Amino acid sequence: MPKEKSATQRINSLREQILEHNHKYYVLDAPEIPDAEYDRLMLELQSLEKEFPQLVTEDSPTQRVGAEPLKEFVQVKHRVPMLSLGNAFSDDDVQDFHHRVTEHLDADGMEYVVEPKLDGLAISLRYESGILVQAATRGDGATGEDVTHNIRTVKSVPLHLRGKNIPDLLEVRGEVFMPKKGFEQLNARQVKAGEKEFANPRNAAAGSLRQLDSSITASRPLSMYIYGVGEKSDSLEWSTHHEMLSTFKNLGLPVCPEIQKVQGVQELLGYYQNLGEKRNSLPYEIDGVVYKVNDLSFQTRLGFVSRAPRWAIAHKFPAQEELSKVLDIDVQVGRTGALTPVARLEPIFVGGVTVTNATLHNQDELERKDIRIGDTVIIRRAGDVIPQVVSVVLSKRPEKTEKFKLPDKCPVCDSAVIRVEGEAVARCTGGLYCAAQRKEAIKHFASRKAMDIDGLGDKLVDQFFEADLIKTVADLYQLKVDDLLKLERMGEKSVDNLLVAIEKSKKTTLPRFLFSLGIREVGEATALALASHFADLEKIEAADSDTLQKVPDVGPVVAKHIAVFFQQPHNREVVDSLLKAGIAWPAYVRENTGQILDKKTFVLTGTLSSMGRSEAKAKLQALGAKVTGSVSKNTHFVVAGADPGSKVDKAKKLEIRVLDEEEFEQLLKQPDEYL
Ligand code: IVH
């Protein structure tokens, strides 16, 4: 039977791979492939075994979850096995789950408890007469490892239960995890100490618990939430899962605050949706949600299939980590000449988008991760964060690869590349001779927070360069209709719009203009501070480093960058021709020392989408305004972002002007219009 023969071969290969990954994951705490990839191998094996049941063996990884415990730890037998959960990947899977449950129980509706699926590792805690006597990992579900000494260092785990009704025996189960913030701090520490970074918070949590020396565990920021029960005294009785969790809380055990009670399948999906939206702002990693039938007598009736309960299921979020291949490594040159290696990737769908590039940051990062052309890598994209190369799958590295090094000549202008001691970044020394730096300078100049030239995006700037239409930002103001019409995809209407936008940008503010020049280390806040302090461009141009350091928050490094910028004749030329082209800002900045909002009092409420509260406050203060916390008859303006509080009502009562976000931004640009 050739079909069975090839199935046997595939099954053997899958089993071998899965066993190898199990070992790396569970024993070494160093998984090499993303979970989604592991799930796929397992699913393929499961479906082949379903098709060819005669090929199922007792030791197949499908018949056993987890792996053997480490030899050094004392083994713990779980008297009530620690089970796993089945997975749902789609709404249909959830509908099926709900149907199975209701059909089995012959019920119409169903009440569920819904919980985040915490991304850590399952631990059992055994309390005898209220005292923590043992903590164990899940291991293979039947036998785990004794990690009592380490768990005692986890601050959220109580060493004694609280309250009056302490049971003789209570074994609870839950997840130990590392909160995101602690994980970042730990990795920063690891890098500083020259140690390996952890791939994700779950590995970090697992690695921290599997320590023979508990002082190491104690230095790791671990936390725990309880979600289930193992062995217990008969005196403890509950009719629902929810009630049980309440008892846990009363006994002082940590229970996740996101847990809720819902009815029916629509509410299950609603919870999934809501938590998915909240996922990035939660302080810990979750990889899905767990649905559990609330009624415990229903749970008993539903029972188990193989190693998972029929009364619960995990509904997974789309994977945030996937495998891809490095097709090439390009070196990009940024506005300040910084060289950035960028991996060109085989397109991969991860975290909800198709990723084709990932920044490799700098030489140090390249060396640390040793990413080479041809490597298979783990790509991670969480939330709106830019995609990251987490690590290389070394076992998949092709035979002939070379370490990648940044070039010592700029790939664009061939100038020397230097790396200042103590800096992570290598830079092209070509300055405005380098076309890449000029191009980036123009993109920055036109961007929204700078001169805000509507419609002048990256692609158009690239086209200008290809057609040799502009060399510096000043050339933007000399562009002619005929030149632009020659460009691809530029019809009369778009040329017209662009020229109007360029013309409009001439009316600006001093801080915007300063920011748009792209002076190193001069961001929006510094530009604002400079404008407020000097109120006059000529004064800034003439200032030496010492004078510049009188500006709040301008230190010696920033001062030097500013002074050097204005000392360069070609920079002075560009600035002069920009002014000649008609760029101008309201006289108040020059004449009123920038304190146009002097004696005006503002109150901020609600959330602004374009900036944080402290940034908004700084911007107002830079214009001389006072920002206070509560509305009174002395308030002049209330700035209301999204979901404002009662302050707006109070302002209306007192007939104080309330500005929405758009008006507020306009006020920052043209304060005189509001006075
Ligand atoms: S209940 C019998 N609830 O997911 C049910 N597990 O994929 C046993 N997990 O081994 C598990 N959050 O490590 C349950 N709220 C939650 C969970 C959760 C995370 C983990 C746990 C379990 C794995 C199963």
Q: What is the pLDDT of residues 363-403, one digit of tens each?
A: 999 999 999 999 999 999 876 678 999 999 999 999 999 99
What's the CA-to-centroid distance between 313 and ligand 1, angstroms?
9
pLDDT band at 593 (very low <50, low <70, confident <90, very high): very low
CATH number, domain containing residue 253:
3.30.470.30
Under 8 Å between Cβ of 104 and 304? no
Count of structural domains within the chain: 6
CATH number, domain containing residue 15:
1.10.287.610
pLDDT band at 31 (very low <50, low <70, confident <90, very high): confident
Under 8 Å between Cβ of 291 and 86? no
Q: List the structure tokens of 315.
A: 């509904």
- In this structure, the number of other CB atoms found within 10 A of the CB of residue 524 comes to 17
* Domain presence at residue 116: yes
> Do 527 and 625 lie in a common domain?
no
What's the CA-to-centroid distance between 138 and ligand 1, angstroms?
11
> So what's the pLDDT on residue 29?
60
* Domain presence at residue 253: yes
* Domain presence at residue 588: no
| Closest atom of ligand 1 to CA, residue 84 | 24
> Do 145 and 205 lie in a common domain?
yes
What Cα–Cα distance (Å) separates residue 344 from each residue in 62, 211, 226, 242, 316? 36, 38, 43, 49, 29
Q: List the structure tokens of 62.
A: 């499908």
What Cα–Cα distance (Å) separates residue 61 from each residue in 20, 39, 389? 11, 12, 29
Question: Residue 81: phi, psi to the nearest 5?
Answer: -55, 145
What's the CA-to-centroid distance between 230 and ligand 1, angstroms?
13
> Do 575 and 638 lie in a common domain?
no
Under 8 Å between Cβ of 232 and 170? yes
Q: Is the dihedral of CA 524, 526, 531, 532 positive or negative?
A: positive
Locus of tokens 């990035």: 280
Beta bridge partners of 123: 137, 174
Q: Is the dihedral of CA 611, 613, 619, 620 positive or negative?
A: positive
Mean pLDDT of all residues belonging to the chain = 90
Q: What is the pLDDT of residues 215-242, one digit of tens each?
A: 889 889 999 999 999 999 999 999 999 9
Tell me if 227 CB under 6 Å of ligand 1: yes
Nearest to 521, CA basis, from 579, 565, 572, 473: 565
> What type of residue is 631?
V
CATH number, domain containing residue 527:
1.10.150.20
What Cα–Cα distance (Å) separates residue 440 from each residue in 66, 333, 447, 574? 51, 8, 11, 15
Given a cut of 70, is residue 282 above it in pLDDT? yes
Domain end marker among 451, 472, 504: 504
CATH number, domain containing residue 665:
3.40.50.10190
- Give the SS3 label for residue 43: helix
Q: How far apart are CA 131 and CA 160, in angstroms?
A: 5
What's the CA-to-centroid distance between 214 and ligand 1, angstroms?
25
Q: What is the pLDDT of residues 304-355, one digit of tens each?
A: 987 899 999 999 998 889 999 999 999 999 998 999 999 999 999 998 789 9
> Do 298 and 329 lie in a common domain?
no
Nearest to 179, CA basis, from 254, 230, 125: 254
Give me the percent of the chain exceeding a pLDDT of 70: 96
Helix (H) or strand (E) holding 502: helix 492-505
**Triad 617, 623, 627: Cα angle to 5°:** 35
- In this structure, the number of other CB atoms found within 10 A of the CB of residue 51 comes to 11
Tell me if 290 CB under 6 Å of ligand 1: yes
Q: How far apart are CA 563 and CA 559, in angstroms?
A: 6
Beta bridge partners of 639: 604, 659
> Do 310 and 329 lie in a common domain?
no
* Domain presence at residue 587: no
Q: How far apart are CA 590 and CA 547, in angstroms?
A: 18
CATH number, domain containing residue 358:
2.40.50.140
Tell me if 312 CB under 6 Å of ligand 1: yes
Tell me if 207 CB under 6 Å of ligand 1: no
> Do 522 and 649 lie in a common domain?
no
Q: How far apart are CA 255 and CA 275, in angstroms?
A: 17
DSSP string, 97-159: HHHHHHHHHT-SS-EEEEEEEESSEEEEEEEETTEEEEEEE-TTSSEEEB-HHHHTT-TTS-S
* Domain presence at residue 333: yes
Q: How far apart are CA 169 and CA 236, in angstroms?
A: 9
* Domain presence at residue 82: no
> So what's the pLDDT on residue 414?
94
Under 8 Å between Cβ of 342 and 360? yes
* Domain presence at residue 424: no
| Closest atom of ligand 1 to CA, residue 138 | 10
DSSP string, 457-481: -HHHHHHHHHTT--SSGGGGGG--H
Q: How far apart are CA 392 and CA 378, in angstroms?
A: 6
> Do 256 and 109 lie in a common domain?
yes
186 CB-contact burial (10 Å; exposed 0-12 / middle 13-18 / buried 19+): buried
> So what's the pLDDT on residue 340?
95
pTM over 0.85: no
DSSP state of 26: I
> So what's the pLDDT on residue 645?
82
What's the CA-to-centroid distance between 216 and ligand 1, angstroms?
26
What's the CA-to-centroid distance between 122 and ligand 1, angstroms?
7
- Average confidence (pLDDT) over 497-511: 94
> So what's the pLDDT on residue 663?
92
Tell me if 85 CB under 6 Å of ligand 1: yes
> Do 620 and 652 lie in a common domain?
yes
Q: Which residue segment(s) compose the domain that 32 sits in?
A: 2-64
What's the CA-to-centroid distance between 85 and ligand 1, angstroms?
6
Beta bridge partners of 603: 628, 638
Given a cut of 70, is residue 64 above it in pLDDT? no
Given a cut of 50, is residue 529 above it in pLDDT? yes
Nearest CA to ligand 1 atom 23: 84
> Do 277 and 229 lie in a common domain?
yes
Domain end marker among 443, 476, 504: 504
- Average confidence (pLDDT) over 608-634: 85
Locus of tokens 């419609």: 455
Nearest CA to ligand 1 atom 12: 117
Q: What is the pLDDT of residues 641-667, one digit of tens each?
A: 988 888 999 999 999 999 999 999 989
> Do 304 and 437 lie in a common domain?
no
| Closest atom of ligand 1 to CA, residue 259 | 15
Tell me if 113 CB under 6 Å of ligand 1: no
Q: How far apart are CA 38 and CA 42, in angstroms?
A: 6
Given a cut of 60, is residue 154 above it in pLDDT? yes
Residues assigned a catalytic role: 117
Given a cut of 60, is residue 575 above it in pLDDT? yes
pLDDT band at 591 (very low <50, low <70, confident <90, very high): very low
> Do 250 and 169 lie in a common domain?
yes
> Do 145 and 267 lie in a common domain?
yes
What Cα–Cα distance (Å) separates residue 567 from each residue in 432, 498, 541, 543, 572? 14, 32, 8, 10, 7
Q: What is the pLDDT of residues 81-126, one digit of tens each?
A: 999 999 999 999 999 999 999 999 999 999 999 999 999 999 999 9
Nearest to 223, CA basis, from 127, 319, 116, 75: 116
Give me the percent of the chain exceeding a pLDDT of 90: 67
Nearest CA to ligand 1 atom 13: 122
* Domain presence at residue 410: no
CB neighbour burial string for 282-316, b if at least 16 within 10 angstroms, e if fewer? eebbbbbbbbbbbbbebbeebeeeebbbbbbbbbb
Q: How far apart are CA 514 and CA 619, in angstroms?
A: 15
Beta bridge partners of 628: 603
Q: List the structure tokens of 96.
A: 């099926």
Domain end marker among 283, 299, 316: 316
Helix (H) or strand (E) holding 378: strand 376-380
